[in-house]
Each structure stands twice: as structure tokens, then as C-alpha cells.
Amino acid sequence: MENPKIFSIGTKLAEFKSNTVDNVNVFLSAHPELSNDQIQYVREYADKLPVETRYTVLDYSVESSKDYMGTAKNTEEKNYIYLDNVSKLSHEACKVALKEWGGNVKDLTHVLFSSCSGLKVPDSSFDLIGLLGLNEDIERFSINYQSEHGALSCLRTAAQLSRLDSKNMILVVITDLPSLNVTFSPQASDQEKIQSFLGCSDGSAAMVVGQGPGGIYELLSYGNYVIPSTKELMTMYTSKYGFQYLQKSEPFKTSVSSNIVNFCRTILKNYEGLIQLPDDLWQYEYLLHPGSNGVLEENMKSLSLKPDHCRHTLEIQKTIGNLCAPTVFFIMDLARQSIFKSEFSFVISYGVGISLEGTLLRNLQFK
């Protein structure tokens, strides 16, 4: 049986671009209650942050937008921002992916959608039927509230649908607005408040998955794993101030990094094809979700990686930051356009659970 392929990738970032220096000034102006020690902490944290720019659906340099950073706006008011922007960004990313694919949208059999931004029923996959001219009986699957690993959960499902029937052609759409997901509620730590505001971007990514000639990537193998007794280390919940993540950074990154080597080996064991794969994990490229608060660095240490192994992750981390689930699709898009191509790549993400999701890719443009 032919392996599923990714035929196209489309991405779309939110409208407003800002740099870390400006974001620090906005953060501090919105929090006049901070002490001198707290202000110093913010500036020192920002100096160490690898993110230089980010993209958001709100222009936080405008005074009225600052209300959405804290407790001045309730969940209902913040949800309107999600409703206005999730479908819009999804539509734009899909248009890019569908144009590159070049097929007839009526040939799409499934649409898989994932987001953990806001609450909308039916979700944006329903809107896309009319916006893109999809068949009204297209099969829709929503895999929502997965956090950073949502994109690879959808990609694994799309690959399984493709294996079930070679005629299936699946549109995968991932959209998140994490700049709004963590608000400055009393429950959030100082580090979480700063990271959410300085390190997160809003955006969407889409791809077409199926079987046939051509393609960008071949999907060779997959894996998913829930690390035992770690549910409390990263959680998402609703409050009267919005949708919020809480992450216990040190134990979270330790839990992920201590399991990532065996997880990659499991993905290799799951491969059942005829291609001879390298045995040494050091011989692969790594398209790792950058996460936040040092998890990328810990994973690189565990895997004994050099920066060249993760050059595309490091570039997205620097120029965009953390988009939550869509991040890995942005990294895959950058990798396929790069002059530095590898034939085989691990794509790994991690999120609430703690859950690990991974895919082994073969770059079909590698020569």
C-alpha cells in the first residue's frame, strides 16, 4: 500500500507584527502596579527570550486592546475576538494550500479541523464548507482543545483515513490564537503572564493529505504517547477572564525531555515499509515544536542534537514564536523551502496530558 503524502502546505499569520522591545513596553504600561523588582524581572526575562517578533490579531499598541490582556474583559467578550478571527485565518491558510495542491475542491472527501481558541459550535470547519465551496456532504472531523500537539493528532488521523481508502483526499486545518489563550488572571504565575504575551503568535496552517503522484512529504510512521502521572503539569481551563493555560515549566520540560528519545525510537519501530532508515537518531533532522520556557533546549540535550539538526525550529521560534498547534506545520513549510534539506525528519510536539505526538517524514524534494 502506498504511504500517504502531504501535497501542499498553506500558512497565514495574524495581521499585527511587533517586536519584543515594544511588547515589553506595552506589557509594563498595562501593569503600572508592578514593583521595581518585578519590572526588572520582566526585562531580564525578555532579554533571555529567543523570540524576536510575533504576530497577533489585536494591535496591543492601541490602548483599547490592552483591556484584553487582563481582567477588564470577560470570557464572553474575549470569545468574540476568537469568533471573528479563527474562521478568517483558517480560510486564508486553506486558500494557499488549495492553490498549491491544484486539485478540484469537490474531490476533497474530509476536512479535519483543530483549534483550542475560543468556543464556537459548529466550529470553523463548518464555515469552510461555504467559504471554500466544499461539498456539503464532506465528512468533517473536529479534534479540538489539544494544545500544541493538535496538528500532529490531525495529521495522524488524516494518514489513517488515507490508508483506509486511497481515494480519500483530506484537508487538514489548524488554527490558534495563543496570544489570547493565557490572560493575566490572578491564578497565572509571573512567568506564564510574560511568556504568553512576549512569546506567542496567532496564525493558521492547512495542508492537503492523500495518495497519488507528486507530493512534498511522505508520511512514513507515527506515534502518540501519554506520559503517566503528568496531567497536572499542563492544563487548560476556562475562567471568567478567558481560556487559560497553566504550565509547571520545570517538571513539564523534564517529563518531556526524559521521554523523547524512547518516543523517537518507538516511531522508528512503528515503520513497516521497505525503505532502509538510519539506525542512529543523530542522522535525522528534527522539526520539534519549540514550546516555551526552555523545553526545546532540554529536548535537544536529551537527543544530543546540534543547532543544525533543529535549524528550522530555531528560525520559527526566533521570527514567529509559539503559535500553539499550527507551529509544527509552519516549521515543516520552512523546511521544505530551505536549501538545507534532509531526507528524513522527525516532527514532534507535546501538550496537555502530557501527550507526545510524532511523525516520521520523508522529504520527496530531497536530492
- Residues 224, 189, single domain; the answer is no
Q: Is the pLDDT of residue 121 over 60?
A: yes
Tell which of 189, 210, 231 closes a domain.
Answer: 210
Mean pLDDT check: name the lowest of 18-22, 138-142, 168-172, 210-214. Answer: 18-22
Percent of the chain with pLDDT over 90: 62
Residues 267, 206 share a domain:
no
Q: Are 89 and 175 in contact (CB under 8 A)?
A: yes
Lowest mean pLDDT among 10-14, 59-63, 206-210, 269-273: 59-63
The CA distance from 219 to 153, in Å, is: 13
Per-residue model confidence as pLDDT tens digits over 84-114 = 899 999 999 999 999 999 999 999 999 999 9
**Same domain? 157 vs 248:** no
Structurally, how many domains does the chain consist of? 2
One domain for residues 161 and 246: no
Tell me, what CATH number does 333's domain have?
Answer: 3.40.47.10
Considering the domain architecture, whether residues 136 and 235 belong to the same structural domain is answered as: no
- The verdict on 204 and 230 lying in the same domain is no
What is the reported pLDDT for 190? 59
Three-class DSSP labels, 310-343:
HHHHHHHHHHCCECCCCHHHHHHHHHHHCCCCCC
Asked if the structure places residue 239 within a domain, the reply is yes
Going by C-alpha positions, the residue among 56, 3, 4, 66 that lies closest to residue 30 is 66
Amino acid 30: pLDDT: 76
Q: What's the CA gap between 13 and 6, in Å, rounded? A: 21
Same domain, 179 and 30: yes
pLDDT of residue 270: 94
Average pLDDT over all residues of the chain = 90
Of 210, 230, 258, the residue that ends a domain is 210
Domain that holds residue 305: 220-363
**pTM of the full structure:** 0.94
Shared domain check, 172 and 30: yes
Is residue 242 predicted with pLDDT exceeding 80? no
- Whether 170 and 297 map to the same domain: the answer is no
Lowest mean pLDDT, pick from 15-24, 282-291, 320-329? 15-24
- 54-66 average pLDDT score: 86
CA distance linking residue 275 with residue 288, whole number of Å:
23
Instruction: Tell me, yes or no, whether 153 and 82 share the same domain.
Output: yes
- pLDDT beyond 80 at 183: no
353 and 313 both lie in a single domain: yes
By the 10 Å C-beta count (0-12 exposed, 13-18 middle, 19+ buried), 11 is classed as buried
